Every structure is written in structure tokens, then in C-alpha cells.
Structure 1
Amino acid sequence: MGTPAVRRISECFVKPHPYNNFPNQICNLTPWDIAMLPMHYIQKGLLFSKPATLVDQQYFMENLLEKLKHSLSLTLSHFYPLSGRLVIHKTQHPPSYTVSVDCNNSDGARFIYAALDVTISDLLSPVHTPSIFHSFFDHHKAVNHDGHTMPLLSIQVTELVDGIFIGCSMNHAIADGTSYWNFFNTWSHIFQAHVQAQGPEYEVSTSLQLIHNRWFPNDCSPPINLPFKHHDEFITRFEAPFLRERVFHFSADSIAKLKAKANSECSTTKISSFQSLSALVWRCITRARSLRYDQRTSCKLAANNRSRMESLPEEYFGNSIHVVSAETTTGELLENGLGWAAWKLHLTVANHNETVVLQFLKEWLQSPLIYELGRFSDPYCVYMGSSPRFNVYGNEFGMGKAVAARSGYANKFDGKVTSYPGREGGGSIDLEVCLSPDNMSMLESDEEFMNATSIGIIPDVQYQI
């Protein structure tokens, strides 16, 4: 798509509002946090339509930006680690490398106002997601370790001809997807409460009482010393190959049929909707890749540990995710039905419990494992990231419900699939699929896959609000 470049108009830094006396502290990173240091920032954002009756564009934008910044400051007082910076301490003899968060000694979160002369239709009408979306986020190609010189949180508000895109780049060593959307949901809640002037601003409450005390295994005393002298020993930078990105929509009815089919084939009722959908994606992408029948292939899922550990409530702020994997040969995967693949995924998820998590952490502390993005870009793997359970479309900033959710460049490779709830809710799911151009063409020709999708192109009616 031939589009003009995004113009950065202004930027500033936003600090936590002083009404909430958060502790002046150093926040130590857990094994889950440290493992994320070479990964990219989380980059997710929401596209909104400008009000249809808008008369004064300049006043609208000035008013919106001021309210976004003020509500962001109030939100950061609850999520104060995001306004800090990473702090690194290292020694040569013996080799030691520690990373922590200084929650106060920084400029705060970055806030950028930018503009681009395109319409919502220009962005959503193409079958494949235009790469211009990558320009709607700060920290392009930055890895989490860069957080010692870059803000841990950066918000970019990009004004379009008829819309607004709010893109958030958050350091993945500080927060996972659950924490990310808890932040976004809280920001939206505070924005709406502030706009509606419901009492003094310092009385704005949130339904979420965050837990900031980082969780460590019993036999671990922070800070964690890594056996390195320099970050070059464990920080690598991954450059993604040229990818096609496309959002496929699955209606609640379509997903219900997939779930019924998978369970029926296995004479069970235990296979979930998402496991059924993941099995479909695994089978169809593997077929699109035209792999040898003896080639090993895997489907990896990001599992939230909070629901599996008694000591970790949903309000825990930080990272608590684990990658679980189901593996087989291409031949077995394609010769057996949807239910066979879905049951393998079900068993993989069901077997992931607190005992497994604690054993992983025990082994990690003996031999620290730092994730490398290149290791995830296995040409025979399908990686299901994010979750359709996140509250994505409940976020409003005075412009009604978002018309679409999109992501940036970060953490993408051939076979990466990001899931979102469908805009209409009700159990519908959107999948953002990243594949090489050839593999994407083959997937788009796959009858089993395309028959399960509801629409290929989002019609005008969905964004004319």
C-alpha cells in the first residue's frame, strides 16, 4: 500500500500522579522476567473512529491528548514499575550480571503524538495487514534489555483522517499479556471516570488491586545473579524475514462447530474451544508448508501460570507465562483428524500444573535459560500467542468501542499466531497469522481452514460507527 510516512508531531514524558504514595524501591526481576530480556517489547494497540459529528478537529485532538496524558499519569500511580528503568549491575570476578527495575529514578513513560494521512478503510480493507501499522508503535525492534536506556512504557497516539490509533509498547521483562491488558483496562477505566467527572480525581478507584511483590521460588533469594560478564553473551537480536500478516475472523458459531467436531471425534467433552481452533491452525499451517511426512512439527501455546498456582492471583503484576508444546510428525498430524490434534493439545495443557512450574523454576535457577526469539522461529512450529480471554474491546477513550486491534513488528516470525477476542464478542475469535508469502498463499487456498473462517475482509459496516 503506497502510504505517506507517519509524522511525529510531539512527545513528552508522563510520571505517576503523586496522589498515590507508591514505594520508592528497586524491583527485582524473577526468572520469568529475566528469561524475556532478549525478546521484543509487547506492542498491541486499538483503532478507534473519530466521532461522526466532529466539528473542531484541533480542539478534539488537544482535548483527547490532554485527557489521555492525565489519565495515564493516574494509571501509572497504580502501575508504577512501568515508569522506571532497568538497572544493571555486573562484576568480572566472579562473572555476575543482575538486572532490576528502579521504579523512580527515570523520566517516566514516553507519550508521543503522531499523524498519518490515511483513512480507517485504507488500513482495514486490504486482505493482508499493511506494514504501516508497525509505525504506530514506539521502540521499533527494541529488545527488553534496552529498557536500561529506553522507557519501559511508551504510548503513541496516531491521528488518522477519520480515526485514532492508540499503540502501547510495554517492556516484556516487566509484564506479560495478562499484566498488559490489566494496565490497558485500568487506563480506560480511569479515563472514563475522569471524563465523566465522578468525584475528585484522587478518588478514582479501580476494580483491580494489583500485587506488585514479585514472586520467587522458596529457595531463591533475589536479586538473581546471571553467570555472565556482558549482555552480548545472552542478548541476541532477531530480524524477522519478510512476512505476510492477515487477520482471520472466526465466529462463535464456527468455533462451536470446531469444538463439537473435535470432542465428537475423541468421544469426550474435555477439549476446549481454543484447543480445537489451535488444532485446526496447526494442521492447516503444517499442510500449507508442504513438509515431509517424517518431519517433526510442534504447536506451542503460551500458558498463564496464575490459574495453576495457589500463590499467584490474577492481579499479580509481572510475567508468569510458560510455553507448553505438543509434538508429532507431519504425517501423523495430517493423517489423523482434528480431534486427534486437539486431544494432544488438551493433554499438554492439562498436564501443565504447579508441580511442573516449580520443577521448571528449580532447573532454571541451576542453569538460567534466556529465551531467544530466533529459537521460537522454528520453520516447523506453530506458536499460539496471547489469549482471546483478554478484555480488548472493553477499552474506551471517549470514542466508543474500538473498530480493530492490531500489533506492531515485535515478536513475529513465520508461524506466529496471535489471538484476540472477536469485536462482536460472544466467543468469537480473531487470529493474526504471520507466514512467509508462499505459505500464506497456500493457507489461503486451504479448504478446511478457509471454510472455518467467517470473513476474509472486514466489511465497511464494521467500522462505520
Structure 2
Amino acid sequence: MAMKLELLGKEVIKPASPNHLQTLQLSLFDQFLPSTYVSALFFYNDQVNQQDIIVQRLKSSLSQTLSLFYPLAGRIKEGVTVDCNDEGALFTEARADVLLSDLLRNPSDAVIFFRDRGYAVSVSVSHKICDAASLSSFVCSWTKAAKGYADDIVNPEFAASLFYPPADTSIEFFPLLVHETKSKTKRFVFGSLMIEKLKSRASCSKRVPQATRVESITALLLRCATKTRRSKA
């Protein structure tokens, strides 16, 4: 059954210091990337039920962070440049009348509050201007700003086009040949009991006396991938 969300509001968050009016050239590789998104999802507990305070802090800290990561507040033009016009990033707030664990089966791009006082924050950025490492840097900086440590944020550099100069847009290139193939996407949800069993099995070795949850699940996935690859060899 699909998870129903109650939309509480949408707001475009602009940089706190809007003074980056410039055009950012995308690198050669970024120019030819498809228009997909890099996403991340984070879960938190709200034991004191301070929803309004949390939302306001997320908005204000996002505004601070966008002042440094200003291309994320701009707009991509014709797939080759970013107009750093400080138009802002979309902030969506929603409520779900389900448990926090239900979101694992039905992800969404928003700040979502749950009936069990938990909440989730999802971040999505165009892959043309942000890869996984860049997204991690942005989220870490946003976290520091939300905690009141904005002064500890290291200023990012947007210099990919210097190392990989963009293509001359005045020259007509042959279109990239992309073959359409059928694929399947599956989501695996590990319950708490299963994770504890995996930790117990992974911790039976002297080399790994106390495996973490991440280590246990990662080891299982690598083991399954290795078996699958060998069976197809």
C-alpha cells in the first residue's frame, strides 16, 4: 500500500548572502551527463516534538549553506552552464500518518515528520552539478550550520571545468548513443532482528570481535554479489 503524505508547505530557500551573480561552466563530463539526480536520505528522532523549531532551523541553516554552495541555488541552462542567479532551492515539508520505518519502503524527496515523533530529511541535487562526494560535502556543511558551527565550514571550490574544460558549444557533436534496456530495481529492507543475527554471525571471528550494523550488512551484500558474479562466469 502506498504511503500517503500530507503536504505542509513548499518554500524556495535563497542564499543568505545573495551576491554570486555569475555563470558557471560545467566540465566536459558534466555536460554529457543525463539529467538525473543524486539523492540521500537521513533519519532522526524527535523526542521532544519540536517540529516548528526543527523546520525553522533547517531553513535558516540551508540558507547559510547555499551562500557557500551557490551553484545549488542557481539554474542549469541548456545543460552546459549553471546560471548562479540565487533563485534558491525548493524546501518541502510533509507529514505522514505512518511509522518512520515505513519510509524505507516508500522514499520521498522532502522533510517528513512521522506519528512516532521521528522525521526524515531527503536531499536531491542534479547530477550535472553534484556527485556523491559533493553531495556528502554539502550535507556535512548543512549539518554544521544547523548545529551552529557555520564558521567551521570549509569553502568549496567549483573548478571542475579548469581540469576538464567544457566542449565548444558552437561545434555540433554527434548525439550519444544510449541503448534502451529493461532493468529491475529492488529495495531490500533489513529488520532489526535480522540485523542482530548478521552482527552475531559476523562477530564470531577473532579478526572482527564486534562488527557494526553497517559492516555486517555490507559484508552480506559483498558476499552475495561475489557469489552471483562467480555463478555467471
Q: What is the TM-score normalised by the length of structure 2?
A: 0.76
Matched, 1:103 2:84: yes
User: Any idea what SS the aligned residue of 2:184 has?
Assistant: coil
Aligned partner letter, 2:13: V
The alpha-carbon deviation at position 276 of structure 1 amounts to: 8.2
Contact 1:27 1:101 in 2 (8 A): yes
Deviations 1:221-258 (A, max 9, x none): 545437348x8x66888875352434596759939969
Q: Tell me, in whole angstroms, the C-alpha distance in 2 between the residues paired with 1:6 and 1:99.
A: 35
Matched, 1:33 2:13: no
The alpha-carbon deviation at position 31 of structure 1 amounts to: 2.4
Q: Tell me, in whole angstroms, the C-alpha distance in 2 between the residues paired with 1:280 and 1:257.
A: 16
1:72 to 36, 44, 62: 62
User: Any idea what SS the aligned residue of 1:193 has?
Assistant: coil
- Judging changes above 3 Å, is the alpha-carbon distance between structure 1 residues 122 and 279 closer, same or farther for their aligned structure 2 residues? closer
Larger radius of gyration: 1
In the other structure, the counterpart of 1:49 is: 45
Matched, 1:113 2:77: no
Q: Tell me, in whole angstroms, the C-alpha distance in 1 between the residues paired with 2:225 and 2:39.
A: 24
Aligned partner letter, 2:159: N
1:166 to 101, 121, 126: 121
Query: Which structure 2 residues correspond to residues 7-406 of structure 1 after superposition, within 5 A?
Result: 7-18=6-17, 22-38=19-35, 40-51=36-47, 54=48, 57=49, 60-88=50-78, 99-104=80-85, 107-123=87-103, 129-130=104-105, 132-133=106-107, 136-137=108-109, 156-162=110-116, 163-193=118-148, 204-217=150-163, 221-222=165-166, 224-225=168-169, 227-228=172-173, 241=184, 243-247=186-190, 254=202, 280-286=223-229, 291=232, 330=233
Aligned partner letter, 1:159: F
Aligned partner letter, 1:47: F
Deviations 1:290-334 (A, max 9, x none): 64xxxxxxxxxxxxxxxxxxxxxxxxxxxxxxxxxxxxxx1xxxx
The alpha-carbon deviation at position 278 of structure 1 amounts to: 7.5
The alpha-carbon deviation at position 110 of structure 1 amounts to: 0.1
User: Any idea what SS the aligned residue of 1:32 has?
Assistant: helix
Contact 1:87 1:101 in 2 (8 A): yes
Contact 2:24 2:84 in 1 (8 A): yes
User: Any idea what SS the aligned residue of 1:186 has?
Assistant: helix
Contact 1:41 1:169 in 2 (8 A): yes
Q: Tell me, in whole angstroms, the C-alpha distance in 1 between the residues paired with 2:77 and 2:224.
A: 40
The alpha-carbon deviation at position 284 of structure 1 amounts to: 2.4
- Judging changes above 3 Å, is the alpha-carbon distance between structure 1 residues 71 and 167 closer, same or farther for their aligned structure 2 residues? same
Deviations 1:68-124 (A, max 9, x none): 111100000010000011111xxxxxxxxx6110011x631000011111113445x
Q: What is the TM-score normalised by the length of structure 1?
A: 0.41
Q: Tell me, in whole angstroms, the C-alpha distance in 2 between the residues paired with 1:99 and 1:213.
A: 15
Contact 1:3 1:118 in 2 (8 A): no
The alpha-carbon deviation at position 171 of structure 1 amounts to: 1.0
In the other structure, the counterpart of 1:5 is: 4
- Judging changes above 3 Å, is the alpha-carbon distance between structure 1 residues 276 and 68 closer, same or farther for their aligned structure 2 residues? closer
Contact 1:84 1:102 in 2 (8 A): yes
Percent identity, aligned pairs only, is 23
How many residue pairs were aligned? 217
Aligned partner letter, 2:29: W
Q: Tell me, in whole angstroms, the C-alpha distance in 2 between the residues paired with 1:117 and 1:35.
A: 41
Aligned partner letter, 1:167: S
Deviations 1:33-89 (A, max 9, x none): 224224x201211111221xx3xx5xx22221111111100000010000011111x
